[in-house]
Amino acid sequence: MRVKEWASREGLNEQTVWLWCRTGRMPVPFERTSTGVILIHDPKYETEPMNTGLRTVCYARVSSSDQKADLQRQADRLKAFALNMGVNNPETVTETGSGMNDRRRKLNRVLSDPSIGTIIVEHRDRLARMNAGLVESALNAQGRRLIVVDDTELDDDLVRDMTEVLTSFCARLYGRRAAAHKAEAMLKAADHA
């Protein structure tokens, strides 16, 4: 399991667990994957069945149809991750659409299906560009969980948030197609000012 989840279950601060991993003082076995993700193998939790009777879905998304090959690779990585976690029959749901769009038919079906206990995504932004934390909180309140395979941030938080807000406003003003280009132009103008 991920550092965040293990720390939460043990009642520890996440930063303490990271320090223990770096200094080799972890009381339980752990591994660092090739991407730098730390997976903790605590025997008392690994023997625990994952959401007994509930399905596990791997959700993969890309923004445009040009990225179809990336979509399949992403889905394959998620399925391999789920199998390594011990999931017997993980389902894969793939979708092409903007992360800013809340009208994604397949994701809405996955989120509204109470028989799905675990949703696995590669990056938080594959689920939603904004407010993915709210989705995770809602799932937790229902006894379901969201697993983010690579939870590292791709950008500086403030820059990423500003880009998301600008893109959202530009999408409303100029249409979705031109929104990303307008947001980039605004950020460049702000850098030079």
Task: Give the residue numbers annotated as catalytic, written as ranges.
Answer: 63
Residue owning tokens 């994604």? 104
SS3 148: strand
Sign of CA dihedral 171, 176, 178, 184: positive
Between the alpha carbon of residue 10 and those of residues 4, 40, 51, 76, 131, the distances in Å are 10, 12, 19, 31, 26
Looking at residue 2, the DSSP 8-state letter turns out to be B
Looking at residue 28, the DSSP 8-state letter turns out to be S
- Which residues make beta-bridge pairs with 118? 56, 145
Percentages helix, strand, coil for the chain, rounded to the nearest 5? 50, 15, 30
The C-alpha angle with vertex 77 and arms to 124 and 19, in degrees rounded to 5, equals: 60
